[in-house]
Amino acid sequence: MLLLISGTHGVEGFCGSGVQVSYLTDRLHDAFPPGTATLLIYALNPYGFAWRRRVNEDSIDRNRNFRDFNVPLPDGSA
């Protein structure tokens, strides 16, 4: 599977969506072996895309804020 995501950091969504459109219009998917799937995610951060910001509406950078599931999760009481 090929995963193409645009708009993780908002403003880069303009370029990323152009790449996705070109991938489809230029039929680049034909270069892959039969049975290869492609998943296109457009504007992963629509707020950042609309406001040209790296973060979402909660000021979270989706590419920098992540949960390490190899360590215990917080209990939520703090």
The pLDDT tens digits of the residues spanning 52-70 come to 998 889 888 877 777 788 9
Residue 60 within any structural domain of the chain: no
d(CA 49, CA 13): 6
Q: How confident is the model at residue 14 (pLDDT cuts 50, 70, 90)?
A: very high
> Residue 12 belongs to what domain range?
2-51
Residues 36-62 have a mean pLDDT of 90
Residue 15 within any structural domain of the chain: yes
Comparing C-alpha atoms, which of 10, 4, 3 is closest to residue 62?
A: 10
Query: Do residues 1 and 40 touch, judged by C-beta distance below 8 A?
Result: no
Extended beta strands in 1-78, E state: 2-5, 38-41
Lowest-confidence segment of 2-6, 14-18, 22-26, 69-73 by average pLDDT? 69-73
Indicate the number of domains in the chain: 1
Residue 47 within any structural domain of the chain: yes
Residue 45 within any structural domain of the chain: yes
